[in-house]
Chain A
Amino acid sequence: MSSVDGRTFPERIIGSRFSAWLDKRVPPSPQITLSQRNIFIFPTRTGFVFSGLLLLLILGAVNYQASLVYAVAFLLGSLFLVTILYTFQNLSGLQLELVNARPGFVGEDLEFTVRVVRPQGKSREGIQLGWPSGIMQWAELLDKEADTVRLYVEAQRRGYQDPGRLLVETYFPLGLLRAWTWVDLNARALVYPKPVFQDFPISQQGPRDEGQLIDPFGSEDFRDIREYRPGDPTKHIIWRSYARSDELMVKQYASFVEPRLWLNLDDVSGGIEEKLSRLTGMALKATRQDREFGLKLGNLKLSPGLGDAHLETVLRELALYGFTER
């Protein structure tokens, strides 16, 4: 990703002060029009080499007293100056707008859709945009007036991820100069926990004490009575019959699998992030298997449901668990 890290030297030197200054200079906004207020321009390394070439040519012209060698040097120098205007103009007037920020899982790429609109009239070429942590993409504005560019940034941590300032740059037309700007489009995308896939734990058969289940084949169905075997839950012992017959009998319940799952933070093992990851994996698995599921995160309870919208709500809660920011 050298293209992005290869920031020209004014930024590298000024560093963090630059970004503070930038916040004042180019304030965050979902839609930004580029103008002389927020465009920076500086020669590239190629530009400096080019200037060196000009010096050599002028030296040659002086020593050979050749008017036309002077003329070549001056023409190339003027070309450089004219290019300053061209490079600046290439960015100037561009309108950037964040269209969409698609959520993703930790470790995957977040997709941000940025729309670039150029003013009518002169076409623009060689415009690249991207975040420092992603890859630069080209905006094609040669034949059309607007282009939507999809930019990808690796999702780092659960919660809202702000990819920072977006770099918009151009080297057009000669690559001797670079015009660029850092715009803050207020972009943020939701990052879901990294899914960890595992079997649903047995105990995740729902909170029986609340008894709100109406399903006739629910897991509470009594089926049979048999002798106690070591290991049976003591809850199931029929103490009244023991009092009568000295025999330990237990009730047997039908262990139908409950089709509606309850994903509970307390039912999975590991640290809090790991727990959230496991729940994420289960939510995905349940959706894939077309099973209804509910979510219990501390005080929050989402009643069971199915479908993409439900999954999105669940994932959103998992992503934002513990955060106050919504």
Chain B
Amino acid sequence: MDSPKGKAALGVAYQIPRNTLALLMIAQVVVIVPYLLHLSPWLIAVGLFSGYWRTRVYQGVWDYPGRLVKAVLVVASIAAVVLSGIEGFSLEAVSSLLIIAFALKLIEMKNRRDAYLVIFLSYFVIAIQFLFDQSILMALYELVAIVVVTAAMVGLNQLHTQVRPLVSLKLAGALVVQALPFTIVVFLLFPRIAPLWSVPLPNSSTTGISDELTPGDIASLTQSDEPAFRVIFDGERPPSSELYWRGLVYSEFDQGTWRVGPRLLPQAPRVSLEDGLRYAVLLEPTFRNWLFALDLAEPGTNSVRPTRDFRLEASEPVLSVFRYEVRSDPRGLLDPGVLPEFIRIRETAIDPTSNPRLTEFARSLWQQTGSAVAFTEAVLRSIRQEEYFYTLQPPTYTGAGTIDQFWFDGRAGFCTHYAGALVYMLRVAGIPARMVGGYQGGELNPITGHLIIRQYDAHAWAEVWQPETGWQRVDPTAAVAPARIEQGLSAALSAADRSSLSIFSNARIGDWAIAGSLLELIDSVELRWNLWVVGFDGNVQSGLLKSLLGELTPARVGMAMLGGGGLSLIVVLIVLFWRRRTLPRHPVELAFSRFAARLAAQGYPRRPEESPSGFVTRIASQVGLSDAQVGGVIAELDTLLYNPSVAWGNAELKQLKRQLRRLQFRLAFGATR
């Protein structure tokens, strides 16, 4: 006998089904591609190269890489990480290493365990992508990626002999779709807890205002049309020229750079507002604690607290879209009356020798004016009346005395230049003044009625302190380019400046009406996505659940989880079992088992090991029926039961039943004789 055991033993050396291999290679590309935006192209190259190698192995052209090739690949990958300039233990470093591991594992993947490892790593790589980007498009993309990876897992459990990736994909798609209702239930009900420990953050690759401001920083921000945050006003919305989104206060000036300076003690001034503007902010991830709000702000969210300099701060860095409620009183005063001495010292500190020409200018101006108001007015007047220009591409001011160079030589600059010069002059005159960074303005989306503030709305202005008014906002940009404040960036820009912006920015600014309204539509979808999915944190959750369930007790949440979860799984059960319940057994089998039962009653039981035809043959020979008498029935039984290629219908079934009945009579007759 040709031992089938021997044949099977050869197959014991497990081979990953080709179906799965193909899907895994597709999955690898799908999963790595979004990282093109965040990681070094070198790294992506290593990943895709190993994918290519694996494809050649799959096609049977190349062999698995030898030890030398593997070593070269590892060295190349590490070199890629180093070359990409990733510093320390950042999110980029972690994801880079993960992708290297993933790519290199794929290339030498041989057995089932390797395949599962690659699949699990793929899921991980998909999840980590969301730490960089949680937009709705990325979510849809990664959902498809999850289907592809799951299809590879399905392929691992299908019969090896069939290469049908489409079947696996279809099944994986069905599984994922059927898992979605339960996912939504858990997503809504799973308790959100505060971070357990601090985690590696992405390098400051995200655009946005930083805690160090060098003139030119904000000008480069105008190149980006990424959203910074969205605001939903509850009721009245102030005019655009009043929308100064205050985020950072720069108190230190050194060698042309403004810095936030040492942290002030967190003894926040009590702000308690009865009325004022009410709004919710959906801040895109900044990986920093600072938040943006209109003056004078009181937080309405637990994890947000006010600071000594009247800003708002989150208790944790904003790693994901963060939603916070704010109440602002535009008439509120900041530090009116007496300025504490430590703040006065902090906000008047300046090195008058750093820009000697401007120091000289400020001192003579102070002698002419004598009061802070008049002094400020005089500076603004000279900006307005003399030849000063507002531009995104100012000449570069380098070396010592950058403010001198700007004020006296270049006379062209962006908001930071003007605000910086003003604060410098005020401090030289001994008046407390500081630089403030944030955003100004915002576009109204007519579909949802929310404001969107983009990176190109970044702005810097000055604050001057006086006993009667406290800290008051002074924006020299309004003096040089009033249109910037009233109508937004585009109105203030020259044609040369505008050509330096991206197509999208120009479209948004209003060059093409149709494209603009399409972008508004996309933005309104994104708002809802951020509102209900990305920004769904503990605060939003408890608000929603309270409105759905009333008082939040663990028992109620548990019941909701059980009820919702059970319901969504019952849907899957119905899909799976519905058709089966209504269908009977194989009709031929049913007919035969009835026949066998009747014969057993007559004293001819069927032996366990007997096939239907074997049973008939044995009984026939026992009773003494000839082959001619039973041959037809046996042939018919075998055909209908075991030959799937023969089509049969009711006529054949009826005939078989008749034959069986006749046979039963013959046997009964034979037995009595």
Contacts and interface: CB of A to CB of B under 8 A. Distances in A.
Interface in B563-577: 568-569, 572-573, 576-577
A78 B186 contact: yes
Contacts of B142: 68, 72
A173 B190 CA distance: 27
Interface in B75-91: none
A117 B593 CA distance: 14
14 contacts: A30-B609, A46-B116, A63-B196, A64-B131, A67-B321, A68-B533, A82-B182, A82-B569, A89-B576, A122-B580, A145-B644, A186-B608, A187-B609, A188-B609
Interface in A136-181: 137-138, 140, 142, 144-146, 148, 150, 152, 154, 171-175
A86 interface: yes
B429 to A, nearest CB: 45
Interface in A289-309: none
Contacts of A189: 609
Interface in B161-189: 162, 171, 175-176, 178-183, 186-187
B245 interface: no
A98 interface: yes
A197 B142 CA distance: 69
Interface in B311-340: 316, 319-322
A138 B180 contact: no
A126 B19 CA distance: 14
B134 A85 contact: no
A125 B512 CA distance: 55
A101 interface: yes
Interface in A44-81: 46, 49-50, 53, 56-57, 59-60, 62-79, 81
A79 B320 contact: no
A59 B197 CA distance: 10
Given A140-B159, A145-B586, A59 B321 contact: no
Interface of B: 1, 3-5, 8-9, 116, 120, 123-124, 126-128, 130-131, 134, 139, 142, 146, 150, 153-154, 156-159, 162, 171, 175-176, 178-183, 186-187, 190, 192-199, 316, 319-322, 533-537, 568-569, 572-573, 576-577, 579-580, 583, 585-586, 589, 606, 608-609, 611, 614, 641-642, 644
User: Which 4 A-B pairs rank lowest in CB-CB distance, beginning with the nearest?
Assistant: A30-B608, A78-B179, A78-B182, A186-B608
Contacts of A92: 577
Nearest to A123: B167
B175 A82 contact: yes
Contacts, number: 209
A57 B182 contact: no
Interface in A197-223: none
Contact of B5 (A76, A85, A109): A109
A152 B5 contact: yes
Contacts of B178: 82
Nearest to B162: A142
Contacts of B175: 79, 82-83, 86, 173-174
A187 B608 contact: yes
Contacts of B537: 65, 67
A64 B199 contact: yes
A: contact size bracket: 35 or more
A67 B134 contact: yes
A284 interface: no
B609 A75 contact: no
B576 A85 contact: yes
A79 B176 contact: yes
Main SS at interface, chain B: helix
A173 B579 contact: no
B187 A71 contact: yes
Contacts of A186: 608-609
Nearest to B159: A138
B579 A122 contact: yes
A258 interface: no
A120 interface: yes
A93 interface: yes
Contact of B320 (A59, A64, A148): A64
A313 interface: no
Contacts of A185: 608
B566 to A, nearest CB: 11
Contacts of A93: 580
A242 to B, nearest CB: 59
A255 interface: no
A89 B4 contact: no
Contacts of B9: 135
B573 A85 contact: yes
Contact of A135 (B8, B124, B199): B8
A80 B181 CA distance: 13
Contact of A109 (B1, B319, B580): B1
B611 A100 contact: yes
A134 B535 CA distance: 56
A108 interface: yes
Contacts of B569: 81-82, 85
Given A57-B124, A126-B157, A66 B614 contact: no
A116 to B, nearest CB: 12
Contacts of A146: 586, 641-642, 644
Nearest to B193: A62
A15 interface: no
A117 B589 contact: yes
Contacts of A174: 150, 153-154, 157, 175
A172 B586 contact: no
A120 B583 contact: yes
A72 B4 contact: no
Nearest to B607: A30
Given A67-B321, A138-B159, 17 more contacts: A63-B195, A65-B322, A67-B534, A68-B134, A72-B123, A72-B142, A76-B123, A76-B146, A77-B186, A81-B179, A83-B175, A98-B609, A100-B614, A122-B579, A146-B586, A172-B157, A188-B608
Contact of B157 (A74, A99, A175): A175
B158 A98 contact: no
B320 A75 contact: no
Q: Which of A57, A86, A104, A173 has the most CB of B within 10 A?
A: A173
A172 to B, nearest CB: 5
Contacts of A72: 123, 126-127, 130, 142, 146
B320 A135 contact: no
B31 to A, nearest CB: 12
A119 interface: yes
Contacts of A74: 182-183, 186-187, 190
A70 B576 CA distance: 27
A108 B199 CA distance: 63
A73 B131 CA distance: 14
Contact of A63 (B134, B139, B199, B577): B199
Nearest to A84: B569
Nearest to B132: A66
Given A82-B572, A93-B580, A150-B4, A69 B127 contact: yes
A121 interface: yes
Contacts of B134: 66-68
B180 A75 contact: yes
Contacts of A126: 157-159
Q: Which of A68, A76, A92, A113 has the most CB of B within 10 A?
A: A68
A175 B179 CA distance: 17
B153 A175 contact: yes
A292 B316 CA distance: 96
A188 B533 CA distance: 61
A188 B150 CA distance: 42
Contact of A121 (B156, B198, B580): B580
Contacts of A125: 157-159
Contacts of A150: 4
B183 A71 contact: yes
Contacts of A69: 127-128, 130-131
Contact of B583 (A68, A81, A119): A119
B120 A53 contact: yes
